[in-house]
Structure 1
């Protein structure tokens, strides 16, 4: 039976290395022609994470845990460097040193938060630190609900203003996920204990319904963009990128519900 540490590490790296690679591409698209240093740095990180992604797919689930632990360390270093790059870009934008570039400050902050999430996950895996279930549920949902709310905002601003119905839908999703995020933050501050499992189950069920709706909206938008049936400045790869992150969130919700159900049966 494959080692759980190996399986989890490879899964995280396969997913997030592709995300980091695509972040490099999106940031590069937003730079001005004269931003040659930043463009070169973005190209460097694209190739770096492309290599990490390829290596992760070449590794088998029977790989020795010590080799995976070393790989996690190497990837952690790469992620830390791209996080610094992203925060540098954000600083340049906020201090008006890149006038005319096309990366929203919130988008740059968004991609840096994802890098920080990835490197923290690699640290947790290598150190063998797993949060208590209730903490993990709340922390993951606070993180991903913010990500989903950001996506809705980006979509709304990158659609052509004449796409009024889609813009309105994106705005509604933004407001919905802002409210879900506030609710998750409130629940997180309360830190419910195991005896409040029904509360956590209801919380996950509610989030799943909203995430599925947003996922379907993203899928429709992605397909329309690929077919050139809507007007926007959304790159087709970006449309697929945000769709995959919604899918990832749904997988995490399903995983948590499965664990909650199993733990509930054990107590009966």
Structure 2
């Protein structure tokens, strides 16, 4: 029988190593021609995560757990390194030492994802398969904020003439901002907020909103692929944010299964 830590580790690396590689690519597109050093560093990270993906292909669910944990540690170092790179870019931008097409919020956003990825690898190596009940709200706050950011980025990257889509993106941004604050309020109500009925309702509300945003992203992706809307959104970015919404739904489902098992 496959070790669940092995299965989960490989799944996390498969998803997030691709996300990290794409982050480096998106950052490289946003720099100006006189920022070649930063572009070169981004390309180095693309190579690093390409190699991680190649190495990942050699593992499977029956792989030795000690080898997988060693791989987790290796990938952790790469995730931590790209986090430092992203925070360096954010600092340079906020101090006005560089001007690029990478929004400060976007750079902060992708650095939060690198921190999340590295933390998951650390937790898995400590034997923590699924975040405990007390971490459900915190995990949702992270992903709700990610979804809110996505809606803002989409709204800003659409051509202003796409008024209907811009308005839809703004509405999703407002919706997820409210969900973030609602989750933060719930987090302050601990431990009373950690009862199963409250958490179940919380997850259900989030799932409904994420599904709506996921469907909006899917429609936008298809329109961009078909060149039917005007925007500065790279087709890969459209697919990227769609996959992250799908990931959030998978995590909500994991939490729901975990709560259901606790009741039995």
State the TM-score, normalizing by the size of structure 1. Answer: 0.96
Partner of 2:116: 117
Count the aligned residue pairs.
264
Note if contact 1:156-1:166 (Cα within 8 Å) is conserved in structure 2.
yes
Measure, in 2, the Cα distance between the counterparts of 1:168 and 1:193: 37
Residue matched to 2:236: 237
The alpha carbon displacement at 1:133 in A equals 2.9
What TM-score comes out, normalization by structure 2 length?
A: 0.97
Q: Aligned ranges for residues 9-20 of structure 1 at < 5 Å?
A: 9-20=9-20
CA, structure 1 residues 242+195, in 2 after alignment: closer, same or farther (shift >3 Å)? closer
CA contact (8 A) 1:146 1:177 kept: yes
Offset at residue 114 of structure 1 (A): 0.2
Runs of 5+ unmatched residues, structure 2: none
3-state SS in 2 of match to 1:58: coil
The whole-number CA distance in structure 1 between the counterparts of 2:19 and 2:224 is: 20
Answer whether contact 1:212 1:250 (CA < 8 A) is retained: yes
Q: 1:54 & 1:98 partners in 2: Cα distance? A: 34
Question: Residues 131-142 of structure 1: matches in 2 within 5 Å?
Answer: 133-142=132-141
Q: Deviations over 1:167-226 (max 9, x none)?
A: 000000000000000011111122245972011000000000000000000000000000
Would you identify which runs of 4 or more consecutive aligned residues in structure 1 move more than 4 Å? none
- 1:28 is paired with a residue whose SS is helix
- Structure 1 equivalent of residue 78 of structure 2: 78
**In structure 1, what is the Cα distance between the partners aligned to 2:131 and 2:193?**
10
Match of 1:148 in 2: 147
Question: Unaligned regions of 5+ residues in structure 1, if any?
Answer: none
The 1:47–1:198 alpha-carbon spacing in structure 2 relative to 1, beyond 3 Å, is same
Partner of 1:223: 222
Cα deviation digits, residues 85-117 of structure 1 (max 9, x gap): 000000111111112x10000000000000000
**Aligned mates of 1:78, 1:195 — CA distance in 2:** 34
Instruction: Quote the residue 1:177 is aligned against.
Output: 176
Aligned to 1:197: 196
Supply the distance in 1 between the matched residues of 2:194 and 2:81 (Cα, whole angstroms).
Answer: 42
Task: Map Cα deviations across residues 207-255 of structure 1 (whole Å, 9 max, x no partner).
Answer: 0000000000000000000000000000000000000000000001111
Name the Cα RMSD after superposition. Answer: 1.3
Q: Does 1:52 align with 2:70?
A: no
Q: Which whole-Å CA distance do the structure 2 matches of 1:71 and 1:216 have between them?
A: 35
Give the 3 Å change call, closer, same or farther, for CA 54–179 of structure 1 in structure 2: same
Say if 1:134 and 1:191, in contact at 8 Å, map to a contact too: no
2:4–2:129 CA contact under 8 A, matched in 1: no
SS at 1:66 equivalent: helix
